Amino acid sequence: MTDRDSQVQGIFNRINASYDRINGLMTLGGHARWCREVARLAQVPPGGRLLDIATGTGVIALAARRREPRAEIVGVDFSENMLAEARTKPGADGITWEFADAHELRYADESFDAVTHGYLLRNVSDVPRVLSEQLRVLKPGGRVVVLETAPPRGLLKLAVSAGMSVVLPLLGQLVAKDRDAYGYLKSSTLGFIPPAEVARLMREAGFQDVGYESKYLGTNVILWGTKPPAARDSGTGTAAA
């Protein structure tokens, strides 16, 4: 874990109690709706396995549980305080909550039908490695669905950037009593790469059928991709060794 990773971990360990409330205020309720959309797009089959990375307070994982009660859902995060918050929510008993570093997942190759995450990539030190780990643990044909922030562009760039620079730290001070932590979240949002660049990195990691849809004046985005199906021996019709 790099010094930056340790810093980010400390920040999320401090803001767990206020995280859902501020997300809801900042997105006018959109955050919970987008998490439900991520869970839907993951297309977890009945009895399948979903890994929700950077699960935070578990919003995506719990939405997936409601959609597919028979699935095995694992929510992981590197903030123990966020995991503690997730475990208090209704329905949390039906999910396995575990500590994990997204740079080095402990799960076996091809062990999940779908991988989801929200606001993970802007907070990690090595995006290509994190995406490669997700590809590794996905089964062939499995889907990854990503909820991420995006830097504002176009005519609204100045207004949105100015608004976030003022509103997010102010909400952090008023709601969480932690202006510095939400100052970091503001800078990591405005400084993150555009969705087209994230999509390119996903394709470079090995995902196919990559696409995305912008949300909330382009400041949030949902991206998706698929792990290629297993190669097959054209002579026997069985998977290649």
Binding-site sequence positions? 57, 77, 101-102
Cβ distance 202 to 210 under 8 Å? yes
Radius of gyration of the chain (CA): 18
Bridge partner list, 85: none
Which residue positions form the known binding site for S-adenosyl-L-methionine?
57, 77, 101-102
For residues 181 and 200, what is the distance between their CA atoms, to the nearest angstrom? 30
Q: Which two tokens stand for residue 72?
A: 């095995």
Bridge partner list, 151: none
Bridge partner list, 76: 53, 98
Report H helices in the chain.
Answer: 3-14, 19-26, 30-42, 59-67, 80-86, 127-137, 157-171, 179-190, 195-205
Of 59, 45, 54, nearest to 11 by C-alpha is: 54
